[in-house]
Structure 1
């Protein structure tokens, strides 16, 4: 155990022995939660294509958005009925058992029994494909948000700054291993068995959370206290009525709009360099695979060496502002390359590097920073407003980005110029909000106040 502590202190020297115990358990929870999510997430589209048909995927996204909204409303109601830790146990078992059942139903020996009943004949493909797609989206919307809300309720800002790097490192490790299992064992084990493995991993979460509560002696703290009853849309009301909470929305979702635009631009360049008619999409698939490996590798290294260091050394305001500034700088560089006559091949790799940077630093710099600024807020902000921001806000922002690319995507020069200036305008507003959030957070910490 002392060897493990020495290793942790080597990479995160400012973390205390008490926080090593606390963040060690939290990291194991996050490892299984994110690992299971990535394991199942990368099989979402292949499973849907197999059971329904990939041409229906845009409709599945629309249906899943409705499902997520209804799920968030029900989740907010459960927050008024159940204690936070009990809700975590219940949702983890619900999703874990659900994934195991989906895995069993998609085994080659059982799929024959999954034909739609007569009253569902109007549904394209097999109904299970639609259920599985929405179920995965619901898990990704609720479980990470609930877990991070519990963290924000049970640790201090100073502990978060020193220990979040450890948490981010294990989350990235889980993501790499989860996706890697699918890459290595899909052909030998099959999608059904891998789904069951993901479900079993989720079922472990309640036991780890119970261990965290017992070990850190927080039974009577925010995870275990009796919830107060409020409206099902209380979180939405808080976003609309509290500038600080609205700022949380901006800091969380603006990246998604810009990333959607830039990643689409990369895709347009890639399809010209690697035309699908020539190789059946193998070249484009190779590029996307390289993007995934590069993103997670960079994120893993930064979580190991940079997350806690930057938060502790430069402060939260710097971290909140530096991320949009970094994105803005990359867009200016790309715009300069384009105006100077860069080839499509050069632009593709420029977009490639930018997308990797956006995603990697989103996971390990922006996300940890925005989770810390939830600390000086009330329980309704941490749990209810956060559920709306993480679930509905993120999906809406992706929809806005897709609207830009859909309306301008038929002509690459128009998309690039207008998309770049739209992104830069959003970044300017984002930086101003980030400055406000960082200043307000520091003031709340000094005055020991919270946003209610």
Structure 2
């Protein structure tokens, strides 16, 4: 019995010798990225509510989509001019530096957290919200695009679970630290005010972001270039394009390819469906946090407690579940497991209809997403061209997420006047429709991915491009 368990564990955690350094550096970089993002993301809503007001959250969602458009066009221009690792390092440094600026401003007696009167004219709250909303498409998304560009489909099945578990460990440590700092136990130590507690947390998150380039630079310096090609068919296409001077595709390439290729649009839908559901639920989560809190530190502390449990469960899922399931079931079946599990959890909540059941569902959904769904979904980008990996992906992660969140907030706004029975009916209809479409999309995208890998295809080629090992979609 013991030998069987040891053999099973070796099959899950064994890393081939030539892949060890690459997996190590990617895992460490992702550890710091998610460690920093966990703190800033959980501070985002509590700081905005304290500075601007809860009623303006829906307007912030719309404003985010407007501001992200020029930012994405600038990013697309940089994709054509910088190397992949340079792009990731640049944005990690930018967010680390801006985080330190916001750290200082939060302590200001008038525009910062010392002023406890919410007002929509307080610009710091708006700018901070926009800053945090950009972290996903401009740091997390770029990391995944970089990882996908240097990873083969077979390696993704073997090692993405390990890599994500490392990031979840970063999230666990950051969330635990945040919860501790925001608790009353630290009031008599080195931080005593709400403002100083939030400043300390944001400063730590900024430092974590500034350390990401260290690990990426270590990867580039210590791993041989022949192990950084990723999917060979895509590498050959990109090499040919560079030789012909056709690698610069313009700032609108990501958006046009998102519209042009069904595969890219399907990826957009996978993000959209999950985020709509979570946006609806997140509004209720924030409401619970406010009901149980008397000040901003209590609100933030409650949110950190929830994300601590989420990252802990996500760590266990990614470490022990993601790799075995990917190896045994493949991407298509794994993609289907996500909407199916979402439906089961929602039915559980509706049967129980308690606050504990709601929070349990919320934590489980986010844990499955972070620990399982995310790495499975990201591996789908591996057989795509650079424009889809980097440019379309940025539009997908930015607008898929933000549009979904805006849709969720609109639903919550419209449903506020409904009685409980009507609200449950409306929410059940919305979730049922989304989950049904989600399952169809997951099946089609998963099937297309498996066919591309089996036939050594590259997804995202124009009809006039030819390559002996690829064909167009």
Alignment TM class, shorter chain as reference: 0.7 to 0.9
Residues 148 and 378, structure 2, Cα contact 8 Å, conserved in 1: yes
- 2:251 aligns with 232
**Counterpart pick for 1:200 among 207, 216, 226:** 207
The alpha-carbon distance between structure 1 residues 314 and 255, as it changes in their structure 2 partners (threshold 3 A), is same
- 2:268 aligns with 249
Residues 299 and 360, structure 1, Cα contact 8 Å, conserved in 2: yes
- 1:120 aligns with none
The alpha-carbon distance between structure 1 residues 180 and 139, as it changes in their structure 2 partners (threshold 3 A), is same
Residues 61 and 402, structure 2, Cα contact 8 Å, conserved in 1: no
Q: Find the residue that maps to 1:374 and give its secondary structure.
A: coil
Separation (CA, whole Å) in 1 of partners of 2:8 and 2:92: 28
Q: Is 1:310 matched up with 2:325? A: yes
Unaligned runs of 5+ in 2: 1-5, 113-118, 461-473
The alpha-carbon distance between structure 1 residues 367 and 334, as it changes in their structure 2 partners (threshold 3 A), is same
The alpha-carbon distance between structure 1 residues 384 and 112, as it changes in their structure 2 partners (threshold 3 A), is same
Separation (CA, whole Å) in 1 of partners of 2:8 and 2:163: 12
How much does 1:214 deviate?
2.1
- 2:92 aligns with 92
Separation (CA, whole Å) in 2 of partners of 1:93 and 1:74: 16
Structure 1 window deviating more from structure 2 (297-306 vs 325-334): it is 325-334
How much does 1:408 deviate?
2.4
Residues 165 and 319, structure 2, Cα contact 8 Å, conserved in 1: yes
Separation (CA, whole Å) in 1 of partners of 2:286 and 2:39: 24
- 1:438 aligns with 446
The alpha-carbon distance between structure 1 residues 429 and 98, as it changes in their structure 2 partners (threshold 3 A), is same
Residues 165 and 307, structure 1, Cα contact 8 Å, conserved in 2: yes
Separation (CA, whole Å) in 1 of partners of 2:357 and 2:102: 40
The alpha-carbon distance between structure 1 residues 349 and 211, as it changes in their structure 2 partners (threshold 3 A), is same
The alpha-carbon distance between structure 1 residues 263 and 44, as it changes in their structure 2 partners (threshold 3 A), is closer
The alpha-carbon distance between structure 1 residues 398 and 112, as it changes in their structure 2 partners (threshold 3 A), is closer
How much does 1:423 deviate?
1.3
How much does 1:158 deviate?
0.6
Report Cα offsets for 1:375-421 as digits up to 9, x if no partner. Answer: 01000000011001111111101111222222223322112122212
Q: Is 1:423 matched up with 2:438? A: no
**Counterpart pick for 1:294 among 280, 302, 309:** 309
Separation (CA, whole Å) in 2 of partners of 1:352 and 1:195: 26
Q: Is 1:144 matched up with 2:140? A: yes
Separation (CA, whole Å) in 1 of partners of 2:104 and 2:291: 38
Structure 1 window deviating more from structure 2 (53-62 vs 202-211): it is 53-62
How much does 1:333 deviate?
4.2
The alpha-carbon distance between structure 1 residues 232 and 7, as it changes in their structure 2 partners (threshold 3 A), is farther
How much does 1:76 deviate?
1.1
How much does 1:283 deviate?
10
The alpha-carbon distance between structure 1 residues 359 and 7, as it changes in their structure 2 partners (threshold 3 A), is farther
* Counterpart mapping for 1:372-391 below 5 A: 372-391=379-398
- 1:330 aligns with 345
What is the TM-score when the length of structure 2 is the normalising length? 0.80
Report Cα offsets for 1:51-100 as digits up to 9, x if no partner. Answer: 55555544444333322222112111211222222222222222212222
How much does 1:320 deviate?
0.3
Separation (CA, whole Å) in 1 of partners of 2:160 and 2:176: 24
- 1:3 aligns with none
Q: Is 1:39 matched up with 2:39? A: yes
Separation (CA, whole Å) in 2 of partners of 1:193 and 1:419: 39
**Counterpart pick for 1:218 among 215, 225, 232:** 225
Separation (CA, whole Å) in 2 of partners of 1:114 and 1:407: 32
Report Cα offsets for 1:6-44 as digits up to 9, x if no partner. Answer: 999658334323323211110100011111112223333
The alpha-carbon distance between structure 1 residues 314 and 347, as it changes in their structure 2 partners (threshold 3 A), is same
- 2:129 aligns with 133
What is the TM-score when the length of structure 1 is the normalising length? 0.84
The alpha-carbon distance between structure 1 residues 216 and 435, as it changes in their structure 2 partners (threshold 3 A), is same
Aligned length: 425
Residues 9 and 15, structure 1, Cα contact 8 Å, conserved in 2: no
